[in-house]
């Protein structure tokens, strides 16, 4: 794209100064949640060795913070977090979360972790129905836990669960309380993926207006977005536009329910569309994506941006011909930037020009009419394959994919209950 811009042949409106957000940071620090929120993808259960391998790869590609697990979940999880902490990473900081519960923070300390995101909800809905606490009780608990963490030499990050459904005055009161107690950063969490991008912008501006007037409250802000409406990436990017410097992401968009903001998509958007330094070695992104996919045993959609099999595959004859004349014709970036290769799909939409290109590459001479005939035969073959494709086969494949999701069924759960209780 750069060469086309310099030659005056392509306009990149992303670089128009008036479109550049005034609060956009020059540098962000990628906070990866793949081994914590990502592992909460239904059916996923990683071994310690798998976690270590993924953590090291996240470190190698340039992640600033890697959350490696939730020590309070179980003794096995605590041992797994401790094993990764003992391994150490070269560049990334290792973090592990805790509820606003002293024993959770003690589990993080036992695991040898120095960075602890403490989370507790701020929405009145969650306070009433889940936590069974008043606002004052929640603030007292939050302050107690942040102070406890700081007394034990930890860096504490306060994550306000359900931020985007919280009363703004109380949300900011919670942030100020955490900062007064020593919190190093605060995080805006769209826990159920309920915000529109412009709503996220409004929330970010309100928080900054409330907190950044006094220098003591101008701490770095993180954002944690879920994808229930397919808006996690968009909301994360809007938050960065408004000054967030710690975007939370999960490789391949894995995570609870519909997943989280996707590592590869957020990074490449910031890198290519905004010109923001992410610190990520983008040429290693595809290797990271495939490693995580392999260990999660959750296949990526073919059409998944950046990492999906079709992301740099061209089918249409018009598109294929365009790519042969200039690589940027139907690609916004070179596949090599993310460690990929360009591919062409031979099927119903193949064109004569691409057939002629293939013949030339193979050293085969053919007339124009022969090239047309080859193209027609390729199209016919594809259409015949499609006609013979079995719907039953597709249904079986879908069933097989669902079987990859491990876990305990309801029936198995009650069998365990009866075995233990009776």
Sorted by where each begins, the domain ranges of the chain are 27-296, 313-389
Q: What is the pLDDT of residues 105-137, one digit of tens each?
A: 999 999 999 999 999 999 999 999 999 999 999
% of the chain residues with pLDDT over 90: 69
Contact 52, 84 (CB under 8 A): yes
The pLDDT assigned to 73 comes to 93
What torsion, rounded to 10 degrees, do the Cα atoms 389, 391, 396, 401 define?
80
- 155 or 327: whose pLDDT is higher? 155
- 397 or 264: whose pLDDT is higher? 264
The yes or no reply on domain 27-296 and CATH 3.90.1580.10 is no
| Residue 230 pLDDT > 70 | yes
Give the span between the Cα atoms of 203 and 422, in whole angstroms. Answer: 52
Which residues lie below 8 Å from residue 166, measured CB to CB, with a gap of 6+?
A: 121, 122, 123, 124, 160
Tell how far CA 57 is from the center of its chain: 15
For residue 348 the two structure tokens come to 């119903």
Q: At what angle do helices 102-110 and 75-87 cross, to 10 degrees?
A: 40
| Residue 328 pLDDT > 70 | no
- 289 or 403: whose pLDDT is higher? 289
pLDDT bin (cut points 50, 70, 90) of residue 398 is confident
The pLDDT assigned to 320 comes to 46
- Bridge partner list, 118: 98, 158
pLDDT bin (cut points 50, 70, 90) of residue 392 is confident
Mean pLDDT calculated for residue range 356-368: 79
The pLDDT assigned to 321 comes to 47
| Residue 347 pLDDT > 90 | no
| Residue 318 pLDDT > 70 | no
- Bridge partner list, 93: 65
Which residues lie below 8 Å from residue 285, measured CB to CB, with a gap of 6+?
A: 61, 263, 264, 267, 268, 306, 307, 338, 339
The pLDDT assigned to 139 comes to 97
- 327 or 207: whose pLDDT is higher? 207
Mean pLDDT calculated for residue range 194-200: 97
| Residue 37 pLDDT > 70 | yes
Give the span between the Cα atoms of 411 and 189, in whole angstroms. Answer: 35
| Residue 213 pLDDT > 90 | no
Tell which phi-psi region holds residue 252, choosing left (phi > 0), alpha (psi between -120 and 50) or beta. left
For residue 185 the two structure tokens come to 């950063």
| Residue 76 pLDDT > 70 | yes
Mean of all residue pLDDT scores within the chain? 90
Contact 337, 282 (CB under 8 A): yes
User: pTM value?
Assistant: 0.88
- 166 or 397: whose pLDDT is higher? 166
Mean pLDDT calculated for residue range 11-27: 92
| Residue 189 pLDDT > 70 | yes
Give the span between the Cα atoms of 236 and 246, in whole angstroms. Answer: 10
């Amino acid at each position: 794209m750069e060469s086309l811009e310099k030659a005056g042949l392509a306009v990149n409106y992303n670089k128009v100064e008036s479109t550049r957000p005034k609060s956009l940071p020059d540098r962000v620090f990628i906070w990866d949640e793949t081994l914590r929120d990502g592992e909460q993808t239904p059916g996923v259960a990683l071994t310690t060795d798998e976690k270590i391998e993924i953590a090291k790869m996240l470190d190698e590609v340039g992640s600033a913070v890697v959350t490696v697990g939730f020590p309070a979940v179980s003794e096995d999880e605590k041992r797994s977090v401790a094993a990764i902490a003992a391994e150490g990473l070269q560049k990334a900081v290792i973090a592990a979360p805790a509820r606003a519960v002293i024993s959770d923070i003690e589990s993080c300390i036992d695991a040898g972790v120095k960075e602890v995101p403490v989370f507790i909800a701020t929405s009145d809905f969650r306070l009433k129905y889940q936590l069974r606490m008043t606002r004052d009780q929640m603030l007292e608990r939050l302050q107690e836990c942040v102070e406890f963490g700081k007394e034990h030499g930890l860096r504490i990050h306060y994550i306000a669960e359900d931020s985007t459904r919280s009363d703004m005055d109380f949300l900011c009161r919670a942030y100020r309380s955490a900062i007064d107690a020593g919190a190093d950063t605060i995080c805006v969490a769209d826990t159920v993926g309920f915000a529109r991008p412009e709503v996220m912008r409004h929330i970010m501006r309100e928080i900054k207006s409330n907190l950044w007037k006094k220098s003591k409250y101008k701490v770095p802000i993180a954002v944690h977005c879920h994808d229930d409406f397919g808006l996690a990436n968009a909301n994360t990017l809007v938050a960065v536009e408004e000054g967030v410097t710690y975007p939370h992401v999960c490789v391949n968009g894995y995570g609870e329910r519909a997943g989280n903001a996707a590592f590869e998509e957020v990074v490449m958007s910031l890198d290519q569309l905004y010109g923001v330094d992410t610190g990520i070695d983008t040429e290693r992104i595809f290797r990271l994506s495939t490693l995580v996919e392999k260990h999660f045993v959750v296949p990526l959609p073919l059409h998944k941006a950046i990492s999906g099999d079709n992301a740099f595959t061209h089918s249409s004859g018009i598109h294929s011909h365009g790519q042969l004349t200039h690589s940027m014709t139907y690609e916004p970036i070179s596949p090599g930037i993310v460690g990929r290769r360009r591919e062409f799909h031979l099927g119903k939409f193949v064109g004569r020009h691409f057939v002629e290109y293939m013949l030339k590459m193979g050293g085969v001479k053919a007339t124009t009419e022969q090239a047309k005939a080859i193209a027609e035969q390729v199209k016919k073959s594809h259409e015949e394959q499609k006609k013979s494709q079995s719907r039953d086969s597709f249904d079986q494949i879908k069933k097989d994919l669902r079987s990859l999701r491990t876990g305990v069924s309801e029936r198995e759960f009650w069998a365990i209950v009866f075995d233990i209780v009776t």
